[in-house]
Amino acid sequence: MSFKAVRVDKTGAGQTVGFVEAEDAELMDGDVTVRVTHSTVNYKDGLALSGQSAIPRKFPMFLGIDFAGVVESSDHPGFKPGDEVIADGFGLGETHSGGYAQKARVKGDWLVKLPAPFSRAEAMAIGTAGYTAALAVDALEAAGVSPDMGPAVVTGAAGGVGSVAIALLAKAGWSVIASTGRASEADYLTRLGASEIIDRNTLSGPARPIAKERWIAGVDNVGSHTLANLLSQTRYRGAIASCGLAGGMDLPGSVAPFILRGVRLLGIDSVQCPMGPRLSAWARLARDLDRGLLASMTQTVPFERVFDVGAAILKGQVRGRVVVEIGG
């Protein structure tokens, strides 16, 4: 039976991206077939949907870097028909057909069983962005920084990673400084747990090598000058988790924070993250993420609207998280 999907293909003129009625024969190799019910729109999805990015690297392919669904058939010992699962990373939507399709065939080794208490929709409200935020908070804790040492800063605060990071940090007892370009979202950020809101423009200019110490920890979604400023204003032996590049991929800074203050820069990668830390991050989300707060940062859209949301996220216009209803 055919199923609905967003397919990217490559032509001489570039990429074509659009809805298609797809066939099972188009599914890629894997030992588990999943009926996909929900996906989401992450920043990376926005780039891929634009048809002008280097995100998809196999053609033709279905886009979508994550999904939740129900196992239809499995040759993997860990999964059986009827199991509810989530998948993100491992090349989904990049080198392997992903979540913008009502059916997916993937390696069982990439799948995570839906963690209680979340529904499939809630798991995608979290999605790659929320799970990345949890990886960042885990990394900060592992680096030995704690709320009694000072505040934590979160950049790109009103976005997906930022929103979940604020909620998780606040729950863990941190005093959270939220950096945003959207002053209108101050109430939203305060409800998530931010205790101070700062204008992102104060962090977007060229950084001094070292500046007045402000925070002991941080989750950065912006990169470029913003990350350099975060580092230069980090307290002695603090740590910053680098998650994103919404403001640029460069890092125009100095080694001064590292060699004068012992500041640590922690790289966060959700895609190839091994199953151990991946499951720990989901365990943190299951334990610490208030489901009411999650609902308040989430909007739900039908599959048909995925291109609109993809365009909006690239313009920094999406607040929090978006669930895409893929199928029944």
Q: Which residues bind ligand NDP (CB under 6 A)?
A: 42-44, 128-129, 132, 156-162, 180-182, 200, 221-222, 226, 243-247, 268-271, 313, 316, 318
Our CB check for ligand NDP shows the closer of 156 and 218 to be 156
Which of 271, 160, 177 minimizes the C-alpha distance to 217?
177
Our CB check for ligand NDP shows the closer of 270 and 298 to be 270
The residue ranges of DSSP E strands in the chain, in sequence order, are: 3-11, 14-22, 32-40, 61-62, 66-74, 84-88, 103-106, 111-113, 152-155, 176-180, 194-199, 215-220, 234-242, 264-267, 298-302, 321-325
Q: Which residue is nearest to ligand NDP (CB)?
A: 159
Our CB check for ligand NDP shows the closer of 71 and 297 to be 297
Our CB check for ligand NDP shows the closer of 86 and 158 to be 158
- Is residue 254 within 8 Å of 207, Cβ to Cβ? yes
User: Least distance from C-beta 219 to ligand NDP, angstroms?
Assistant: 10
SS percent in the chain: helix, strand, coil, step 5: 35, 30, 35
- Is residue 96 within 8 Å of 322, Cβ to Cβ? no
User: Least distance from C-beta 245 to ligand NDP, angstroms?
Assistant: 4
DSSP character string of 137-193: HHHHHHTT--GGG--EEEESTTSHHHHHHHHHHHHTT--EEEEES-GGGHHHHHHHT
User: Least distance from C-beta 156 to ligand NDP, angstroms?
Assistant: 3
User: Least distance from C-beta 31 to ligand NDP, angstroms?
Assistant: 25
Our CB check for ligand NDP shows the closer of 269 and 308 to be 269
User: Least distance from C-beta 39 to ligand NDP, angstroms?
Assistant: 13
Our CB check for ligand NDP shows the closer of 27 and 294 to be 294
User: Least distance from C-beta 172 to ligand NDP, angstroms?
Assistant: 19
